[in-house]
A and B are shown apart, each in its own frame.
Chain A
């Protein structure tokens, strides 16, 4: 902007700073306007009301025998529910935290008083495959839990990552015991 301020026909001095200010205000208003217009379009891609309404499922544990695992669906994802044997619980509890890649106590991954039940999101934390191991005939890896066929990750009976390339343990979904034999996930 020039240093000299020319005079307008009406006698006022022309202020170059005013023009810059107006340009900036107009520009920012346009950006805010476009953003406000874009938001409904983008937000329409988020989960809709009917999808959110289906975000919890209940499950009856009674038919699941000791040592058996079942897969149920919650929010379109497989959920592993496994009835662990006393030996398995003992192994899971006795693992030293220093041996774990993603240290977590077994007690923190089950509900108090229900340590025979482990509930996990059955999606490998590596790249999203569903690990094998729920069926007795499946390979369960070296730690008796789950084995991911995609890239060889292994999990123990607590769903903790024991062998890579998975970076983390299988997550525990939010759930609660409604009665001793009934859980609600989500």
Chain B
């Protein structure tokens, strides 16, 4: 469609721009008056929090890169110099370091929200799949970022993870050599990891944009898992959810600040403060906490290729989740058995994370194997069957119904009147 946009903005400057490039109209449509289900709980904060977290990571990362030296000779020292000598370098580094952990906390809760309330179901399958792509990109970015300080954990983490590809039959060894740019993790590896670590966040930003576009086509899911039926069921995004997101943001920043200012190294590993030594592997090597469940799955399978396939399979299975879950009902609120099993699944993943951080011996191996089996059982067996067997509770007629009858008292006048005005 060619032609100038008919802008409704009164301000002549904004109107002039908006007529030619309707950014202001778009922002108002997507973030101002955007009709949003009115029954969100605080789980719906986590998308916005992830967006904020991404911006924090990019901002601190750009300034860290100004002082970072991507060479095996200089990387470790340059990171120490950032912490000791660069103005506020300690702050930038600890925000970036703990920001990665915060990012995964936020995203894992965001994913739990999606699974608990069935947000991946029709018509939001693609939205969910784009989300899984973001998760994969985040994992790659986090892994490469962890290599950059060039400590012992960095080096051996890089060695172990890149060696995963050697499990691929026939071409595996060639792929690993290609990844390394040599015959071991060395200067070329560090250089390319830095380059890619800088690139990936912008790729993530692009995919996040697609995620948001897809979200704004289907509209948000909500705790009841039923579509809004009328204007009565929605609220304009601003100010109702900008404010609600801000409340969540304050709590998020509090947790973030406690990590950064009081226990900046709590989630890290002390061995990473020893410079990389290609001749000595630390006695107990573990990945960052957010990879532990997947690491446990890798270790549970007594076969090199099998372990790698299971580990990647643990994420690949998320891609097809919308088709594995056969229940037509979205929200766990109305699925009594699924709701219980969702908690069992969370415990399963937490236990996987726990054994992933322990030495692989004795009971840890058995527990890891049982939990790995259950992880796949949940997705591949329980969800398809449960959807057909389970008798869901009756769904409410509309979002407004339970909000008005079960909620605490009537809504303030403005909340009800607002959606009517903006037709």
Contact = CB atoms under 8 A, between A and B. Distances in A.
A7 interface: no
A115 B403 CA distance: 90
Contact of B85 (A9, A40, A41, A48): A48
B59 A44 contact: no
A180 interface: no
A41 B60 CA distance: 7
Contact of A50 (B85, B91, B413): B85
B81 A48 contact: yes
Contacts of A108: none
Contacts of B66: 44-45
Contacts of A39: 88
Interface residues of B, number: 15
Given A41-B59, A44-B66, A44-B67, A49 B92 contact: no
Interface residues of A, number: 12
Interface in A37-81: 39-41, 43-46, 48-51
Given A49-B84, A49-B85, A49-B86, A40 B91 contact: yes
A44 B96 CA distance: 14
B355 to A, nearest CB: 39
Contact of A48 (B89, B91, B413): B89
Q: Which of A48, A50, A51 is most buried by chain B, counting CB atoms within 10 A of its CB?
A: A48
B87 A44 contact: yes
A126 B88 CA distance: 34
B240 interface: no
B63 interface: yes
Given A44-B67, A51-B85, 5 more contacts: A40-B91, A40-B92, A41-B60, A41-B63, A48-B86
Contacts of A48: 67, 81, 85-87, 89
Contacts of B91: 40
Interface string A3-47: 000000100000000000000000000000000000111011110
B250 to A, nearest CB: 11
23 contacts: A9-B413, A39-B88, A40-B87, A40-B92, A41-B60, A41-B63, A41-B88, A41-B92, A43-B87, A44-B63, A44-B86, A44-B88, A44-B89, A44-B92, A48-B67, A48-B81, A48-B89, A49-B84, A49-B85, A49-B86, A50-B84, A50-B85, A51-B85
A52 to B, nearest CB: 9
Nearest to B95: A40
A39 to B, nearest CB: 8
Contacts of B86: 44, 48-49
Interface residue SS majority, chain A:
helix
A48 to B, nearest CB: 4
B264 to A, nearest CB: 15
Give the top 8 A-B pairs by smallest Cβ distance, nearest first.
A40-B88, A49-B85, A50-B85, A48-B86, A48-B85, A43-B87, A41-B63, A44-B63
A43 B91 CA distance: 11
Contacts of B67: 44, 48
A44 B61 CA distance: 12
B186 to A, nearest CB: 27
A23 B48 CA distance: 22
B349 to A, nearest CB: 33
A40 B56 CA distance: 13
A49 to B, nearest CB: 4
Interface string B40-65: 00000000000000000001100100
Contacts of A51: 85
Contacts of A46: 87
A55 to B, nearest CB: 13
A48 B83 CA distance: 11
Contacts of A50: 81, 84-85
Interface in A147-166: none
A40 B63 CA distance: 10
Contacts of A44: 63, 66-67, 86-89, 92
Contacts of B60: 41
A41 B67 CA distance: 12
Given A40-B88, A40-B91, A40-B92, A45 B81 contact: no
B119 to A, nearest CB: 30
Contacts of B63: 41, 44-45
